[in-house]
Structure 1
Amino acid sequence: MVVASIGIDQFLEQARAHLYRVSPQRLSQVQASGGYVIDTRTAVTRDVEGHIPGAIVIDRLVLEWRLDPTSGHSIADGPSGDDVVVIVCNEGYSSSLAARDLQRLGFARATDLIGGFRAYAAAGLPVVAEPTRLVQ
């Protein structure tokens, strides 16, 4: 079996083709209008760099199970398929792939944060020491 391959840049470009990505400066507007911000960074990174106020921390390894209401392992008070869901990673790469996967699960308005947490923090936007909500 021969599997056609593409490079990561093309893979990422394909994932982003259906995302309406959110800038760090616009993130608070998305939250104020009821959008969910999901932080998938590792604990090591979050503990050092801090958290976006109002974000829900969910490990990337269990993201789909915690958000999909049909999984049997979804979180209470999580987003529905109609809600805006903004995924945050360190620099805005793995979050694009995660958002694409959530769209495939029925979260039509899933997207990600341009530049990730680091662009958000570099823009001087609010960062807090503790997560608003941590989901295991």
Structure 2
Amino acid sequence: MSEHPTTGERPVGIDELLERVRRDLDRVTPEEARDTAAAGGLLVDIRYAALRERDGLIPGALVVERNELEWRLDPQGSHRAAEAVGHDLRVVVVCNEGYASSLAAVSLRQLGLRHATDLVGGFQAWKAAGLPVAAGPPVTAGPPAAG
């Protein structure tokens, strides 16, 4: 592979990128995610609507579309969700199988959410572990918190 003409860096593929970003994440199992939520942490479901409708929802998880995640969870942002209470919030990002959530968690860490991580295996691992799954309309991020 050739180097980037401006930065001189070698491009990486997605597998290498995932390996790199996961080194800094304390990724959690479904049971650890459940315990984090029980202790006041926030589970954030970034799966797209068709997957949520097909497979169900984690009860109590906040649904935030991936393209809105940073805006909704930045505690200093003018478009933040009411649940985005501070940089110390424990956040577990959940995607379908645990890939996109790793990249999303790193993005949240770059915003200062130092305890952001993701669920190993995603929603499918949660469901396979026999943890609660609900059908019905999701709990989505409401209007931005007053700033």
Task: Give 2:111's aligned amino acid.
Answer: L
1:29-44 counterparts in 2 under 5 A?
29-44=35-50
Partner secondary structure for residue 97 of structure 2:
coil
1:1-136 counterparts in 2 under 5 A?
1=5, 4-131=10-137, 133-135=139-141
TM-score, length-normalised on structure 1?
Answer: 0.94
How many percent of aligned residue pairs carry the same amino acid? 49
Distance 1:89 1:34, change over 3 A: same
The answer to whether the 8 Å contact 1:24/1:113 transfers is yes
Which structure's residues are more often strand, by fraction? Answer: 1
Task: Give 2:36's aligned amino acid.
Answer: V
Distance 1:24 1:103, change over 3 A: same
Partner secondary structure for residue 133 of structure 1:
coil
How far has the Cα of 1:72 moved from its partner? Answer: 1.2
Task: Give 1:22's aligned amino acid.
Answer: V
Distance 1:79 1:20, change over 3 A: farther
The farther-off stretch of 80-89 and 63-72 is 63-72
Give the Cα separation in 1 of the matches to 2:92 and 2:30: 11
Higher relative contact order (CA 8 A, sep 6+): 1
How far has the Cα of 1:78 moved from its partner? Answer: 2.1
- Rg: which structure is higher? 2
Task: Give 2:39's aligned amino acid.
Answer: S
How far has the Cα of 1:135 moved from its partner? Answer: 2.2
How far has the Cα of 1:80 moved from its partner? Answer: 1.5
TM-score, length-normalised on structure 2?
Answer: 0.87
Task: Give 1:53's aligned amino acid.
Answer: P
The farther-off stretch of 107-116 and 119-128 is 119-128
Segments of structure 2 that go 5 or more residues without pairing to the other structure are 143-147
| Number of aligned residue pairs | 136
Q: Deviations over 1:12-62 (max 9, x none)?
A: 011111111110122221111111000000000000100001100000001
